[in-house]
Chain A
């Protein structure tokens, strides 16, 4: 089955700096790659996603890039703010049932 690896497990940045989280996946059939933000005690919330026919997608301060050849994708957050502090999960999905295979998460701390 699909295996999604996520790095780093923790990331601390100063407010205004950029943060990058990287994920790799094992199954070349995966074609959908969402990123979720989860605040403490809350549900995961979709923040951005990318499909395999696109190399990059941007939404204000966040962007995701996908390298299908290398089977990795990354989340980039620019001009970080304290409210960006949360756990971020990457995931990969194949066509079968569209279920998501999640990475183990990155705990991002943005200090003022």
Chain B
């Protein structure tokens, strides 16, 4: 099993460009999350989803959008990239309600994004 995968691993964007960060999981987890990690800081929640078709904002959602059409995929869309979005982005999953370890989170390898 691949677990949680993210693509791309690295990306450089110009100001104003758009892109989609991909996240996929084969763990059959219901809950998925997007975090960003700035240097020397903890992770901050951007968006999360408790199941296909359901998404909700986290602490820092401005400048981002998400969709969840399947259990396996949870892409993060950046519109009009800005230098403040330079960060490392981590996708994570957890089993969700009804599972014994319902809120244990497992992280993908991350995408390092630079906006110039």
Contact = CB atoms under 8 A, between A and B. Distances in A.
Interface string B92-104: 0010100000111
Contacts of B45: 99-101
Interface stretch (B35-43, B65-73, B78-86): B35-43
Interface string A33-74: 010000000111110010000000000000000000000000
B56 to A, nearest CB: 6
Given A43-B108, A46-B105, A97 B48 contact: yes
Given A1-B59, A43-B108, A43-B109, A98 B41 contact: no
Contacts of B48: 97, 99
Contacts, number: 53
Consensus secondary structure, chain A interface: strand
Contacts of B42: 4, 6, 89, 91, 102-105
Contacts of A32: 103
Contacts of A102: 42-44
Given A97-B50, A99-B48, A44 B94 contact: no
Given A32-B103, A97-B31, A97-B48, A89 B109 contact: no
A89 B43 contact: yes
Nearest to A44: B107
Contact of A105 (B41, B94, B109): B41
A85 interface: no
A7 to B, nearest CB: 13
B99 to A, nearest CB: 11
16 contacts: A42-B109, A43-B107, A43-B108, A44-B43, A45-B107, A46-B106, A89-B43, A93-B103, A97-B31, A97-B50, A97-B56, A98-B105, A99-B33, A102-B43, A102-B44, A104-B42
